[in-house]
Every structure is written in structure tokens, then in C-alpha cells.
Amino acid sequence: MKITNIFLLVTDITLDGGVERVVCNMANSFAERNYNVVIISMFSANQSLNYQFRKNIKIEIIKGGIGRVTWMNKHTSRINLIRRYQTSVHFTRLIYAIIDQYSKGGKSVLLTNSYLYATPLYRHRNVHIIGLDHSRYPFGNMTGGIRHWLHTYMIRKFDVVTTLNEDELDKWKSIGPPVYIMPNFLPQNWINNNASTSKRNKVIVSMGRMNTNQKGFDRLIEAYSLIAAKHPDWKLNIYGSGCLQKEYRQLINDLNMQDFIEIFDFTKNPLAVYQTASIYAMCSREEGFPMVLLEAGCQGLPIISYDIQFGPRTLINDTVTGYIIPDGNKEKFAESLEKLMNDDNLREKMSENIRKDIPARFSEEVIIDKWIKIINSI
């Protein structure tokens, strides 16, 4: 039987975000099922990986020693659009050369959310392409008609597109290729059906990158400052690294919250953090399908989040597994958070509900079986 080759194309596999964690989960799961798995990374801002991959997974980096942001800053203006196109063609040829190098007969499938490079600016006849829609803004800073034209042209050449949730289906249906809802999943070793918050520390936790304001840690700090002094036995711990970390620390100082809120660098062991906390809080301004909510939920943490357009409402059952708060209403956010902090029984009930709900819908077995059916169908 010929082996199926799975190529996962990402912008930068050395980063520490949710996309990289999703790619790691997918790669490990496919490799465990005897697929030939190769990760192709466009850039490498860091020298080492933040997540653990199985030994039989190959990782190829096209442009090492430079991050995406640095490269994009040189190629984002309309003046440089022709250069960007030329570079994209060059990258695409390198991608297909790697695919030719590692293909072991059988079917070759490229899964990518890096539309600008992966895409069939010219099409390799032996490669099937699946587009992974993990972002509301797949073309970054390009605006208006240019972005729409590129979006439409490239996606039409894909065999299949997958989107993270039902909310995003409409934007794909009119473009052309078959579209499937394919949420992220949790590795089997993350599932903890016995998780309980009854004997945990009085800690609220939040995680994410701090290189932009997307994760809304400023909003979380401001909301928690409304109630923190009334609950000196509780702490808010925020984990993440990036250029805005200093600003968030300054905001904590400006609000005199040093005794109640602490910021830690990115952790390579989030499981240990979840297992000692009691509540997960998210104040993101935008999301696709936040892995942190899956991870926190399967460890039994009730979740409180703003009701942004994509993500939280798919994962949180309001008043059953957590609270969904009108976006930007920090008073309501603080009020609902305080309700969870004050009521041990409520936290325990929501903990029980969420640690049953998340694995039932987003386990590795459930989602990877759907992936295999799609791959076999093209």
C-alpha cells in the first residue's frame, strides 16, 4: 500500500502561538497513524522549537534566521507588490521542491494557511492543496480590491478549504472549492476527565502572545482591577512574551495592581499552569479558534470571555461551562468573574460540565477521523 504524504506549510514553526501548537498536534497525530509527515516553515525567528514533535516528522525551514514581521516590513507597501509577487513565486518553487524531495509515492497533500506562498501561483500537478482558514485576515495589511482579488484567485485553486467554525462558512461558500468545518483538536494525553477545581489555588489564568494587542491583556487587567482589592486571596496570572509585555507591566503599576496581578513569560508547560488554576479568563479583541480555551476547558477550568465575532461562542456554553460577556463591557466581565470567584459550588459545577463537553466535541480521535476522510476524498 502506497503511503500518503502530508505536508504542513506554516509561516514560522519556531513561534509559540496557537497556530504552531495546532500544527504540532496535527503533525504528531498524522505521524502516529503512519503518514509521511513533513513541516515546511517559511521563516524561523527563533533557533529552537517551542513544541515537541515526533522523531519521524521532518521539518524544513526555507528562510532561516529571519521572522515574518521583519520580512513583511520590507515587502508590505504597494510599491513593493511586484517584488512580493516575485518572491512568492520563488518561495512556491522551493516548497514544491521540498515536496518532491520527501514524497514517497502515493498521494501528496499540502495543508496550509500561508495563502500567499503555498498557493498555486503555478500548480504542481501531483499535489493536492487544502487551505486552512485560521485567520480573518489572510492577507495582512493589503486592503480593498487587491486583497479580495488575491483571496478569491488563490482559494479557487485549492482542492478543499477548511474553516474553524460555522460562523466563517459564508465567506467561503461563494468562492468555489468544497468547504468543511474542521475545528482544532486536543491530543489524547490532554484529556482529563477527573479534573476538579475544588482543591486548586485561587488563581485566574490567561495566556497568549504579547506582540500585538489582539489578546486584549490590557482589557483583562483593567477589568480585574475593578474587583481585585476585594479579593486579596485571589491572583490573576498572565503568561506570554512579546514587545507589549513592558506596557502591560506598566499598566499594572499605574493601577496599583502589583499585589494582585502578575505577568510571567511564555511557558512550555501550560498543562501544569491549568492544573493548578481555578478560572480561565480571555479578553481577546479577535480570535479564530482559540486553543487556550480547549486546553483550559479539558482541564476543568470554567471560562469567562468577551463575545467577540469568532471563537468563544463555539466553545463556551454560556452559564453552563462559563460566561460570555458583551464585548468591551468590563463592568459586566468583572461582575461575572467575581461571581465565579465567590461560589465554590458554581465553579465545581461548571468545571464538571466543561471537562465533559470539550473532549466530546474536540478530541483527537473525533477530529482526526474527519481529516482522514477529507484527505481520502481528494
**What distance in Å separates the CA atoms of residue 181 and residue 166, rounded to the nearest whole number?**
7
Indicate whether 67 and 86 sit together in one domain. Answer: yes
CA torsion through residues 236, 237, 243, 249, sign: positive
What cell does 24 get? 504540532
What cell does 56 get? 519521524
- What's the structural domain count of the chain? 2
Query: Is-contact 346 321, C-beta < 8 A?
Result: no
Domain holding 197, by residue range, is 189-362
**What distance in Å separates the CA atoms of residue 160 and residue 168, rounded to the nearest whole number?**
15
CB contact set of 266 (below 8 Å; sequence gap of 6+) = 16, 50, 209, 239, 240, 241
3-state secondary structure at position 178: coil
pLDDT of residue 213: 95
* Helix 344-362 with 330-342: angle, nearest 10 deg: 110
pLDDT of residue 281: 98
**What distance in Å separates the CA atoms of residue 319 and residue 353, rounded to the nearest whole number?**
10
Indicate whether 251 and 316 sit together in one domain. Answer: yes
What are the start-end ranges of the H helices in the chain? 18-32, 68-73, 81-102, 115-118, 144-155, 170-173, 217-225, 245-254, 270-274, 291-298, 312-315, 330-342, 344-362, 364-377
pLDDT of residue 73: 53
Indicate whether 179 and 208 sit together in one domain. Answer: no
pLDDT of residue 337: 98
**What distance in Å separates the CA atoms of residue 16 and residue 23, rounded to the nearest whole number?**
11
CATH number of the domain encompassing residue 47: 3.40.50.2000
CA torsion through residues 99, 100, 105, 109, sign: positive
Indicate whether 260 and 136 sit together in one domain. Answer: no
Indicate whether 163 and 277 sit together in one domain. Answer: no
3-state secondary structure at position 236: strand
pLDDT of residue 154: 73
pLDDT of residue 145: 62
Indicate whether 201 and 95 sit together in one domain. Answer: no
**What distance in Å separates the CA atoms of residue 230 and residue 248, rounded to the nearest whole number?**
22
Residues of the chain with pLDDT under 50: 78-79, 121, 137-143
pLDDT of residue 106: 87
DSSP for 244-311 reads THHHHHHHHHHTT-TTTEEEE---S-HHHHHTT-SEEEE--S--SS-HHHHHHHHTT--EEEE--SSS
pLDDT of residue 141: 47
Indicate whether 230 and 344 sit together in one domain. Answer: yes
Question: Which is nearest to 75 in space by CA: 126, 24, 29, 117?
Answer: 117
Asked whether the whole model's pTM tops 0.95, one would answer: no
3-state secondary structure at position 92: helix
**What distance in Å separates the CA atoms of residue 325 and residue 9, rounded to the nearest whole number?**
35
* Helix 344-362 with 364-377: angle, nearest 10 deg: 20
Indicate whether 278 and 207 sit together in one domain. Answer: yes
Indicate whether 204 and 265 sit together in one domain. Answer: yes
Indicate whether 358 and 368 sit together in one domain. Answer: no
**What distance in Å separates the CA atoms of residue 305 and residue 297, rounded to the nearest whole number?**
12
Indicate whether 174 and 226 sit together in one domain. Answer: no
Indicate whether 217 and 345 sit together in one domain. Answer: yes
pLDDT of residue 265: 96
Question: Which is nearest to 282 in space by CA: 310, 255, 251?
Answer: 310
pLDDT of residue 221: 98
Residue matched to cell numbers 500544527: 23
pLDDT of residue 325: 98
